Homo-oligomer: A and B are copies of this chain.
Amino acid sequence: MWQVPRRQIAVCGPGECSPQEAEAARAVGRLLAVHGAVVLCGGYGGVMAAAAAGAREAGGVVVGVLSGRDRSGASPDLTVALPTGMGEARNALIVRAADAIVVVGGSWGTLSELALAQRGGTSVITLGGWRVLDAEGRPVPGPVAAAGPAEAVRLALAAAERVRPLSP
C-alpha cells in the first residue's frame, strides 16, 4: 500500500454517459492507478463509476466523494466512499483535493467542477465535453484538450508534478 505523498487526480464527468465516454473514463482510471495516483471522483454512476472500475482493475486506490448523506448508490469499485451530506457543494471538495482534474464528457455538474478547478488554479485536462466561450465568442483559455486517455493522464500527471513535485 502506497502512502502519501502520492498524486491525487480527479476524474470528473456526467452520471450518465455514452459507451465511448465510459470506455475513456475507464482507461483514464486504469492508467492513473498504474502510475500510482489516487483517483478521486464523485462516486456514483456513468463516468465516475467507469473511472472507479478502471482504477480498481489496476489495483489502485479510488475515493468517491458522495453528495448524499450515506453510501446509497455508490459505485462498488470504490476503495473508500465518503458521504458528505453536502449536496453539490461536494464538487468543490473533489476539486480542492486534486492535484489536477481530467474531465470526460459534459454536464452542468461536470462544468461546475471544471470551473471551480480553473478558479482555484488547478489544471484541467479535457476529453471531449463542453466548451466555454467568452462574450466575444473566443474560447476561454485554461482547459487543455487531450487526444485520448493516455495523453490525458500524461498531461494531468505532468501538471501535478509542476505544482507539487514528488521527486527530490
Contacts and interface: CB of A to CB of B under 8 A. Distances in A.
Interface of A: 1-6, 8, 38, 56, 59-61, 63, 65, 69, 71, 74, 76-89, 91-93, 96-97, 105-109, 111-112, 115-116, 118-120, 128-135, 137, 140, 142, 164
Contacts of A71: 4-5, 164
A97 to B, nearest CB: 4
A69 to B, nearest CB: 6
A111 B130 contact: no
Contacts of A80: 4, 6, 8, 38, 61, 63, 80
Contacts of A118: 108
Copies of this protein, total: 4
A134 B18 CA distance: 14
Contact of A112 (B93, B96, B112): B112
A97 B112 contact: no
Nearest to A121: B108
A81 B96 CA distance: 11
Contacts of A129: 135
A3 B79 contact: yes
Sort A-B residue pairs by CB-CB distance and give the 3 closest, nearest first. A89-B92, A112-B115, A108-B119
